[in-house]
A and B are shown apart, each in its own frame.
Chain A
Amino acid sequence: EIVMTQSPATLSVSPGERATLSCRASQSVSSNLAWYQQKPGQAPRLLIYGASTRATGIPARFSGSGSGTEFTLTISSLQSEDFAVYYCQQYNNWPLTFGQGTRLEIK
């Protein structure tokens, strides 16, 4: 099983600033990585797939990068609605696995 490790567990950032979230895979997943955003009481929302392609309707301030085992989600200028939990997911191998999440909170 591929273990996905996200860091940090919690990130405190001020509105308008940049946030950088990391996701590391225990073995290569190529570019088969997705990012999701989840707000309290809501289902996850797909943000990024293929490590760097934004899903439909996702603002340009969200960007993804990386390949192999190291990935990054960057939010360039945080808006109030961006404070949430973010998960990475690999879909290169069975079983599909998620990271444990990074909570992005207001500083």
Chain B
Amino acid sequence: EVQLLESGGGLVQPGGSLRLSCAASGFTFSSYAMSWVRQAPGKGLEWVSAISGSGGSTYYADSVKGRFTISRDNSKNTLYLQMNSLRAEDTAVYYCAKDFLTGQPYWYFDLWGRGTLVTVSS
């Protein structure tokens, strides 16, 4: 079955760190660019970060640049998001999402995980 499964969310204090993981199955993970998209409670979707299939190219929203790091381990079919210096405004459900096409990425998403909730609060 083609799926993405996020993990690693939880409650963290402001200024703390958290690492999210996204385990992929059912497709050739290394062939696809991947992204993280978040959704604050009751709010809309916000793209956070993206990475090419090889991991050689990464992209970040200004709101997380310098604090978050996206990476992937293609041998483990897993995407990561290292989140440091967390703020209350980072509280959201974090989704990992797969690019639509193999090879050259198009940066829209045809497969999403169920999300993992990150709560930043003291």
A positions within 8 Å CB-CB of B:
1, 34, 36, 38, 42-46, 49, 55-56, 87, 89, 91, 94-101
Interface of B, helix, strand, loop or mixed by DSSP: strand
A46 touches B62 (CB 8 A): no
- In whole angstroms, what is the CA distance A43 to B111 when docked? 9
Tell me the chain B residues, 22-79 only, with Cβ under 8 Å from chain A. 35, 37, 44-47, 50, 59-62
Top 3 closest pairs, chain A to chain B, by CB: A43-B112, A34-B108, A91-B107
What is the size category of the interface that chain B forms with chain A? 20 to 34
A96 touches B107 (CB 8 A): yes
B positions within 8 Å CB-CB of A:
35, 37, 44-47, 50, 59-62, 95, 100, 106-110, 112-115
Interface of A, helix, strand, loop or mixed by DSSP: loop
A89 touches B44 (CB 8 A): no
